[in-house]
Structure 1
């Protein structure tokens, strides 16, 4: 028996909304009756965050309210919303629908960034943010920030990713270990070291052309817990080696991919 033809559309939409966005997309290819339910606003409304209207109101994006819910979902996967004065972005993980956030360079604390001789901010076409941080010369390298985890999806393991590029002249990063640490509400979570250059071990090329490297992970509890403040830091000043040539886009919080 073809259940897609027997069950009312609202019933099919309810069933599909309890699956995943990936399953809903697959279901739309099964038959026309199922496609109508799988592509409907009733189904895709469940995959969009409850606070989306508030987020859209904060951003400079226009005409999003005119999109069908499935189109809106897919748009948010590939076109992050800029928030908090263009210092933070919001998007959705395409397969799971989990929330993703990224704090841009202007939303971070960067040592000596107020001194043009050491750091400057520039507009880069490939970046989602209006400006990224460009390192000219420092001996103490330190980039850090904090984030409230209540903004993220509940009961989810997140990766913390440092997003960056290198310019044409690189100094002080070759075969050098950069320290990182992660603290949650004052409790130490993890620490370690990563090598940013050459970009071989652990460094991945992103679809947007930037590089990323994982510097930690954490688990989000239920919303009733009120979230926690996540503090993250990347630094190196033990050897006082001169450094230059890195471009910092920011830190991203993205659901951990299945192994």
Structure 2
């Protein structure tokens, strides 16, 4: 009897509603064309914790199971990429290293520009936005992961530039050199704050550029743009600090290039990482997809 009572209480709507975003109805309306109307709150939470595709499969949204916070990812197919239709420059490559099953691979180009935007009813909170990139093209050989560095060039001459703006006037600009061939890295674009999601959905515009036409650049895979609540990033860092961190190194800009680039922290833990302007934006990648 006691076990039945405990199970009943743990499945009660008021327990699971507290785990859902306050505006979960708006999220459901945005993402799903046909969502079951009679699901209990526990089942709604479970459904939203799946990686749910929308906008023709170019975007995915899900709730982090530990925090109930909303995360969003936009595939390379959902971005405006200069020259993407010209096979002399870009190719679409199928891969199991992307949650979308496909990445955009740049062989060579003079004008490197990627733009994107999204309008979404983000719950209140502070969010970070990243581009997920890799220098080189990965493949499998005899069951082992290898990468081809044939086309990598031009990224050590000038840094790439990241920009973010929101519909309520928030802006962020950063720049960084691309490095570490063969590793997927999340490059931090900036942060934005949502204060009252009931007013209107938040509209974001973001870009990645390297448009110095004095040299070509190439050999980079573009997977996606990802948006995470900062509380989720902080949680992952806490887990890694106990389990997987093998080194914590402060790298000054002078060690990266003679050009001025802000210092950043790196957690050397796995084959993938996040690069940003401070410790909270830097997370080992295998736990940060």
Contact kept, 8 Å, 1:182 with 1:190, in 2: the verdict is yes
Deviation at 1:121, TM superposition (A): 1.5
- Given the two structures, how large is their TM-score scaled by the length of structure 1? 0.70
Which segments of structure 1 move beyond 3 Å, counting only runs of 4 or more? 31-36, 38-42, 51-59, 64-77
Q: Kindly state the Cα deviation for residue 46 of structure 1 after the two structures are TM-superposed.
A: 3.8
Aligned pairs (5 A) from 1:1-259: 36-40=8-12, 42-48=14-20, 49-51=24-26, 53-54=28-29, 57-58=32-33, 70=42, 73=45, 76-77=48-49, 79-148=50-119, 150-154=120-124, 156-166=125-135, 167=137, 168-169=148-149, 170-174=152-156, 176-185=158-167, 187=169, 189-198=171-180, 210-238=184-212, 240-256=214-230, 257-258=233-234, 259=280
Is the contact between residue 61 and residue 70 of structure 2 (CA under 8 Å) also seen in structure 1? Answer: yes
Q: Could you give the per-residue CA deviations for residues 188-245 of structure 1, whole angstroms, max 9, x where no partner exists?
A: 612120222127xxxxx7xxxx421211010012123313422111101225322222
Q: CA RMSD in A?
A: 3.3
Cα distance in 2, alignment partners of residues 225 and 65 from structure 1: 25
In 1, Cα distance between equivalents of 2:220 and 2:38: 40
Structure 2 length-normalised TM? 0.63
Residues 68 and 124 of structure 1: CA distance in aligned 2, closer, same or farther (over 3 Å): farther
C-alpha change, 1:58 and 1:135, in structure 2 (3 Å) is: farther
Cα distance in 2 for partners of 1:198, 1:176 equals 16
How far apart are the structure 2 equivalents of 1:109 and 1:172?
22
Q: 1:119 to 1:191 in 2, by over 3 A?
A: same
Structure that is richer in helix per residue:
1
Contact 1:112 1:118 (C-alpha < 8 Å) held by counterparts: yes
- Count matched residues: 216
- Structure 1 unmatched ranges of 5 or more: 6-30, 200-204
Asked if the contact 2:32–2:54 (Cα under 8 Å) also holds between the matched residues in 1, the reply is no
